Amino acid sequence: MIIGEGHIFSDNDFKEDLLNVGFKIVKFNRGEATYDFAFIKSDYFNYWPLLKRE
């Protein structure tokens, strides 16, 4: 799992790179100057307890 927070300095978008290597988005919120995110490998997306959907 990859979790983080960052500041927007350019249009460099790493989301597509992570999706292309087998991650799924758990959370991605982008504001005017910052963003926070959480990604998890597809293999674990349905098994991780906090991600279980009702």
Residue 52 covered by a domain = no
Domain membership of residue 36 as a residue range? 6-44
Residue 28 covered by a domain = yes
Structural domains of the chain, count: 1
Inform me whether the pLDDT recorded for 54 exceeds 60: no
Rg (CA), the chain: 12
Residue 10 covered by a domain = yes
For 14-47, the pLDDT digits (tens) are 888 999 999 998 888 888 888 899 999 888 777 6
Residue 18 covered by a domain = yes
User: Measured between alpha carbons, how far is 28 from 37 in angstroms, rounded to an integer?
Assistant: 4
pLDDT at 51: 56
Yes or no: say if 6 and 12 are a contact pair by the CB < 8 Å rule.
Answer: no
